[in-house]
């Protein structure tokens, strides 16, 4: 395993790139939810960058909620979250969000986010600046 340390500067660049891509794709993001724990810091920063509310309770997620996590490595976290949390909290299918973003994406992941910034290599172990 190779430790790949992400700096705060790289993180800031990633936040801006995600925000730019959301705007370029005209995605209708009304609020943002960060998957605990990895997605919370990115979600807070995107909330400020996009001037959108940060949701702390998944009960209030809608179709226009952007779901955020730090990485889609195996993809199990986002896949399980999308498939189980929404079954619990979203009473109607039309409420189920379909927008996700991550800083890192591993191409062999079982879950492909809508937006990601960096591609993880097989031997990488990502160390985020808050770790």
Query: What are the tens digits of pLDDT across the range 98-113?
Result: 799 999 999 999 999 9
- Under 8 Å between Cβ of 28 and 55: no
The larger pLDDT score, comparing residue 91 to residue 74, is at 74
Query: What are the tens digits of pLDDT across the range 44-74?
Result: 999 999 999 999 988 788 889 999 999 999 9
What is the rounded CA–CA span in Å between residue 44 and residue 64?
Answer: 17
Average pLDDT over residues 88-94: 57
Nearest to 45 by CA among 10, 93, 73, 96: 10
Q: Tell whether the model's pLDDT for residue 90 goes beyond 90.
A: no
Residue spans of the domains in the chain: they are 2-127
pLDDT band at 91 (very low <50, low <70, confident <90, very high): low
The larger pLDDT score, comparing residue 37 to residue 10, is at 10
- Under 8 Å between Cβ of 102 and 73: no
CA angle 16, 121, 40 (to 5 degrees): 40
pLDDT number for residue 94? 59
Q: Tell whether the model's pLDDT for residue 97 goes beyond 80.
A: no
Q: What are the φ/ψ torsions at residue 118 (nearest 5 degrees)?
A: -115, 150
- The residue written with tokens 């399980």 in the block is 80
Which pTM was predicted?
0.89
pLDDT number for residue 56? 92
Q: Which fold has domain 2-127?
A: Rossmann fold (3.40.50)
């Amino acid at each position: 395993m190779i430790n790949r340390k992400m700096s705060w500067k790289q993180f800031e660049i990633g936040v801006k790139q995600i925000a730019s891509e959301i705007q370029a794709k005209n995605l209708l993001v009304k609020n943002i939810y960060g998957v605990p724990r990895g997605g919370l810091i990115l979600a807070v920063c995107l909330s400020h960058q996009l001037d959108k509310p940060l949701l702390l309770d998944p009960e209030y997620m809608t179709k226009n909620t952007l779901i955020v996590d730090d990485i889609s490595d195996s993809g199990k976290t986002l896949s399980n979250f999308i498939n189980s949390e929404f079954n619990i909290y979203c009473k109607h299918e039309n409420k189920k969000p379909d927008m996700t973003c991550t800083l890192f994406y591993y191409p062999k992941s079982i879950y492909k986010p809508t937006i990601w910034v960096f591609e993880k290599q097989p031997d990488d172990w990502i160390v985020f600046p808050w770790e």
